[in-house]
A and B are shown apart, each in its own frame.
Chain A
Amino acid sequence: EAQVTQNPRYLITVTGKKLTVTCSQNMNHEYMSWYRQDPGLGLRQIYYSMNVEVTDKGDVPEGYKVSRKEKRNFPLILESPSPNQTSLYFCASSSQRRGGEQYFGPGTRLTVT
């Protein structure tokens, strides 16, 4: 089954404790992206990747890191999480580098206390 998976689905952590949210897709997509969703603000793009070893900043990259060492995986790293990073995070992938239909993961709800 074609899908985007994210782990963990729920995470409660404390300020400053490094964490990684994994994202994996099995569709051989080149384009992958991370979004955060906050009430009243819709989805905002954090980082995206056009292909292996190619990543770029989205609208709200501060406080986040990503890597793309393999085509299928695109982890999101929070080196020192802060309470304002409490949010619902989505990973997505697309077969097209620009403007294609995106397939979304189920989301990761992160709470930073």
Chain B
Amino acid sequence: SQQGEEDPQALSIQEGENATMNCSYKTSINNLQWYRQNSGRGLVHLILIRSNEREKHSGRLRVTLDTSKKSSSLLITASRAADTASYFCATDARTGNQFYFGTGTSLTVIP
């Protein structure tokens, strides 16, 4: 399997704190994306970073990508209770048209 892995598997923080989750993957990629999933529901796209980019921001989200280490991190600043969800990274390999999702990080933000 060429699936990525997120770390940590679960994270619990207080509202207002920052949350950082990491993703590692196995093959050379074109893009890396982060998705959010509220319990049992469909995934929602958060942000896409291309393989030639190192950092990207969107609102309270900051994504970094280190292709030499095959890893990415997602930082959510000033977290809110509504950020409670599972977060997944997804990659598309440089060759082929498949998508690979990680195993996810479950984030709980305590009000």
Contacts and interface: CB of A to CB of B under 8 A. Distances in A.
Report whether over half of chain A's contact residues are helix, strand or loop; otherwise say mixed.
strand
Interface string A38-49: 001111110010
Contacts, number: 69
Which of A42, A48, A106 has the most chain B CB atoms closer than 10 A to its own CB?
A42
Q: How large is the interface on B (under 10, 10 to 19, 20 to 34, 35 or more residues)?
A: 20 to 34
A44 B103 CA distance: 9
Interface in B38-61: 40-45, 48
B42 A106 contact: yes
Interface in B65-111: 88, 90, 92, 97-104
A42 B102 contact: yes
A105 interface: yes
B97 A103 contact: no
B33 interface: yes
Contacts of A59: 1-3, 98, 100
Contacts of A102: 33, 35, 43, 45, 90, 99
Interface of B: 1-3, 30-31, 33, 35, 40-45, 48, 88, 90, 92, 97-104
13 contacts: A33-B99, A35-B101, A42-B101, A42-B103, A45-B100, A48-B98, A59-B100, A101-B33, A102-B90, A104-B35, A104-B42, A107-B40, A107-B42
B57 to A, nearest CB: 17
